[in-house]
Every structure is written in C-alpha cells, then in structure tokens.
Amino acid sequence: MGTNKRAPVTPRPAEGLAPGLDGLLRCSWCVAAPEYVAYHDDEWGFPVRDDVRLFEKLCLEGVQAGLSWLTILRKRAAFRRAFAGFDPARVARFGPADVERLLGDPGIIRHRGKIEAAIENARRALELRAETGSVAAYLWSFAPPDAARPERITRAALRGMTTTPASVALSRDLRRRGWRFVGPTTAYAFMQAMGLVNDHLEGCAVRPRVEAARRAFRRPGP
C-alpha cells in the first residue's frame, strides 16, 4: 500500500521580512524596487564617518519629508550634481542665484524652503566642524550605546517607533544651532541609515554584515 506523504511546508517569513528575487530574506520595506534592494544591501545601516555623506543624508532626509525615500533615491544623482556633491564648504557659498538655478532644475525636488534650508544647514555644518573637529564627531556623539537597543530587533520592537530619545536629543540640539528640516523623525531615519543604530530586523540577511561593520567601526572623536 502507498503511503500518503505531505508536501514539505515552507515556513513563512517572520513579520517584517520578505524574500527578494534571490530568495534571501530582507527587511520587507526594500523588496518593492531594485533600487531599494541595492540601497538596503549596500548602504542602509552601515556606519559612516565621512562628513560629506553625513551632510548629504541630513539634507536628503529633510527633502524627503512628505515624500517616499524611493523618490529621493531615484533623484539622488541629480541632487548631487545640483548641490556640488553636497560638499558643505561649497554649498555654504550658494547665494540667491543658486537658489533660482535649483528651483529651475527638473531633476530635483523644487521646494524653495528645503533648498534654502540645505544652504543654511551647510553653513551650520561648517560651524560644527570648527567647534567639534568634524560633522561626524558631533553626530556620532548622539549614537546610543548598543546596550540601549533591543537585543533582538524585530518588527514588533520597531512597530510605531518613529523617534527615539537619541533622535529627539539630536534634533533638539541641531535646531538650537539653527539647522532646519531636522525634526526627531528625520533625525531617527538619518541615524538608521548612517549606521548610528542597526535596525535591520532579526533574520534579515544583511543584519549580520551591518553588525560586523559596526563592531569594526571606530567612532569619530573630537
């Protein structure tokens, strides 16, 4: 007599994870577009100490307000061309003619307030360099100790979390210094992206790589 054999049951991914086209589980927010997958796998969460990249990300997170990050990601190359590679020393010299030039650039988000904020923030970034030695040294001073993060980063741990005490403190201090479009939610998204925290979910294929990169990372100091 034959025996009835049940087909093997493929376990469902944990909440917040989804397989990519290569079958690897990733944070589910990234699998909708190839640009997102590349950004998630190669950038998001890896620690950064370069002042230009950190300044760029703060600017672009401010521009993103009310939009999707995918929209900004697809325009990032155009933003870099328009904003002199986000070198704070060059952007700080932008004047009214540059604002009008940027408002006429179809490759970027043409929002006068956000454009003017990026220029003003570049000037504040130069002040930070003079005071603390680098933008990186200042920003990383707000990174929470790993012991303050959940031991297992799960969707449940992050559900509804749009700010943290560290992002609130960073936002408050930046605004005190005259920075614009740097609210607590923007500050938290920046911290996640630049590796000040590792918010890849438990089970995400990239999380161990980010953990290793953060262990090897030497935090910038004054």
Catalytic residues: 39, 61, 69
User: Residue 27: enclosing H or E segment and its boundaries?
Assistant: strand 25-27
What is the residue-wise DSSP string for 86-153?
Answer: G-HHHHTT--HHHHHHHHT-TTS---HHHHHHHHHHHHHHHHHHHHHS-HHHHHHTTPPPGGGS-SS-
The separation between CA 137 and the C-alpha centre of its own chain, rounded to angstroms, equals 17
Among 77, 73, 79, 78, which Cα is nearest to 29's? 73
User: Beta partners for 17?
Assistant: 27
